[in-house]
Structure 1
């Protein structure tokens, strides 16, 4: 049983912010480097291409939503095949979403530990983060969405700070040439597209919406907001650093923040990165909540708090295995490939199942 009351439906406003916050993450600090390395000059343009791919995928998800009339993906699947045949799929989704949530959290705490508390074990920070994630998971998606809306306002204030860099921004650094001196590869493509992942979890909120929610339209607006902010920050970064500098930097946006000086604060970049805890929490909560909803389909009589606790503990234990930032990023790349497959194949499967069951009903009548 879900913790959400059936009468509570997500509003378009909450969906926009939910999708935006689930997608937005600490990868923005390295995104300009990834784009410059893969696509070279004016690599920021590729943000627009990735945004188009996301919208196409959302329209596919929208087809499943409209054809299924907003029914849960589990209801749709179980009408077409026995539940026991779906258990491997459910377990696979649980595993991928739990590990992705774990890796996103571990990446954040490793970077935070590296720049702010180098002598503290990162898993101490992860305990605090996981406790907050657990508390949100058991509140239900309606309360999660309201909490994430509050977290949105605790982070959006950082965007106007980019105005500090206008004085040192130079259009000549962007050059009139596009996609020169880059080395594109499938791996780099996946790593960059991973910065947009999270939108596919709207598959899990089908039953918590109605016509007034405008799920697909609101989700597209949330992703377009993310694409705008990604593109804006990447343009500023490409115009502030040279291409060679960008390709050598691990976290260009974090280095950019270091140029801001206040007389009353040292290492301002630590303050900005600390605020990204809120976006990280939003992403981790949504992945683990999705894993929780899937687990409740396998263990129908299980207590929600028990399932949430087991998933959080599982994610915490798994986080011990990749113990360096490079290991975590390697794992993220591998699981991002699986998640991209889920993002496209799962809604396609739903569309096929819905078309098949519709034809079967028409033939029976």
Structure 2
């Protein structure tokens, strides 16, 4: 799908599940025609059950409800959970489901990692928050810190077409896509705000590096300040080089990375880059209150991004991702305030003096890591590449839903 700037949008930052879930569930309850949800993870916990009930209630009153989950991220939903959705008329599809081998999930590569919800073609939510209880503070020390945005205005038409097209590519085709748009055309969007927004996706065909290119363009153009909060930070050579150059020309470059990671290897990978970044003048802050799951950035006075894309090999070269890029000084200030709060109150700043001394082994390791980063976008393309495949869950008709005809 084409990616272009749209004007006149309203963009609202939502931090963590406490702000995100109530807004999404309220929007689903108020839906009149259509609900489309894409998520990497859906768990059968209190958040997943709340989404389950909201979708069932909407479908019962005649709203078209489509749910797409990832086969790797959401592998353990019970038959009762999914069948009750189908019985209510919710069309549930799984992106590349895979069978377990000796209890292990092997369908790791090229996952559907997006988190998008579209309501009636008029309201959209995009970000990094999954439908799981570990995005709520009462989950405990392992609760995730994360962000999403609520969008209204012309950009929603772009996002709406994108999610419908994703379903069509997966298992229906262009004819279904045209019929669905004709049956439920999105409303005409008047300007409702001041934000310029672009919806940017990453796939394994036409848009293989679009999100990375937007990051690179913003970093290379930066003149004052860069703040990047990213959960899984192991970017390519070009991004590391751009950050180092920005810091050396006087830009205040700040990275917020995981100090209490949900996976230990995440911190090990990121820390291998600390010497390269700190010696160039980049400031590194490790968020230590709980696991960081955010994928956001702010550059200078107007540029921001929020979405599902990490800055690591999976997100930049393999997974299907979606971010929004926002040009709006007011929104950039709001995001900057929240990121500053993290840095000043919940992060440990890493200083060069804290790093272990360089050794022969560290020099060798850093050499290989640095050049791995330089070349991985090329060699990762050799990993299995397949056409997106959506499979209706067992017990559903060929078009999703409980063996009913989907003419839309």
TM range (shorter): under 0.3
TM-score, normalisation: structure 1: 0.24
More strand as a share of residues: 2
Relative contact order: is structure 1 or structure 2 higher (C-alpha 8 Å, sep ≥ 6)? 1
